[in-house]
Amino acid sequence: MARWFVKDSAKETIQLHQSQTEFSWHGYQKQVIRPSGSQKKDKFTTYQVANQELLYLEKNLKFTWSPGLFDSTSIVYAIQWYAKQHRDLNQAKLQLHVGKKQYPLHFSEQYQAAMVQLGYGRSAAEKFRFGNQRYEIDLWLLPQVEYFPGKVRIYDREEKQTLLLTLQKLPKFN
């Protein structure tokens, strides 16, 4: 019965390249950490970009890679990079890689002035809404702190699940 109340945790790491002219995704690793005493071993999911291909190392699979391809974590930082440069995101041809599929993204809202409730109070933000046949995503970026992500809501139509992440305190940049 105790196993019903004990949950795994996870650690995710992304590799990105950023310059004045480009922002690209180069890798992702997720480690599912099992609770102490568990019979199961930790589980890894690793994607790595090499020779213009996306490699899924644990399954020995290859996928098409393009400069606009991102995982569900790094896509937020890609949009932040484009927003800081005030670019039209539909022209960026961004794609979301999830599992074994790649989904083109279409932006229905960009740079919409909004107020957003965060963990430390209400804040001015710019809202972006985008998605595809599977996902509907709302993202609020905070222009006053380098367009840092303040809140993201991801709705998965297939799984009928929503993930909501909210910034709990204002970041400090040096």
pLDDT in tens, 12-42: 999 999 998 999 999 999 998 888 777 888 8
- What pLDDT, on the 0 to 100 scale, is given for residue 156? 93
Q: Between β-strands 61-64 and 53-56, what pairing exists: parallel, antiparallel or unpaired?
A: antiparallel
Considering the domain boundaries, does residue 172 fall inside one?
A: no
- What pLDDT, on the 0 to 100 scale, is given for residue 77? 94
Considering the domain boundaries, does residue 104 fall inside one?
A: yes
Q: Which two tokens stand for residue 147?
A: 């367009």
Considering the domain boundaries, does residue 111 fall inside one?
A: yes
The stretches in the chain having pLDDT less than 50 are: 1-6
Are 122 and 149 contacting, i.e. CB atoms less than 8 angstroms apart? no
In single-letter form, the type of residue at position 14 comes to I
| Domain region containing 150 | 2-166
CA distance 78 to 70: 8
Considering the domain boundaries, does residue 171 fall inside one?
A: no
Report how far apart the first and last C-alpha atoms of the chain are (Å, whole number): 48
Task: Tell me the CA distances in angstroms from 10 to 33, 58, 59, 167, one per residue in order.
Answer: 5, 17, 19, 19
Considering the domain boundaries, does residue 130 fall inside one?
A: yes
> What's the structural domain count of the chain?
1
- What pLDDT, on the 0 to 100 scale, is given for residue 1? 38
Closest CA to 65 of 108, 15, 20: 15
In single-letter form, the type of residue at position 164 comes to L
> What is the H or E stretch that residue 102 is in?
strand 101-104
- What pLDDT, on the 0 to 100 scale, is given for residue 4? 47
Q: Which two tokens stand for residue 111?
A: 């740079």
Considering the domain boundaries, does residue 124 fall inside one?
A: yes
Considering the domain boundaries, does residue 173 fall inside one?
A: no
Alpha-carbon radius of gyration of the chain: 17
Considering the domain boundaries, does residue 128 fall inside one?
A: yes
Closest CA to 94 of 70, 68, 66: 68
Q: Report pTM.
A: 0.85
Q: Report residue 80: phi and psi, to 5°.
A: -60, -45
**Residue the block writes with tokens 């937020």:** 76
- What pLDDT, on the 0 to 100 scale, is given for residue 143? 95
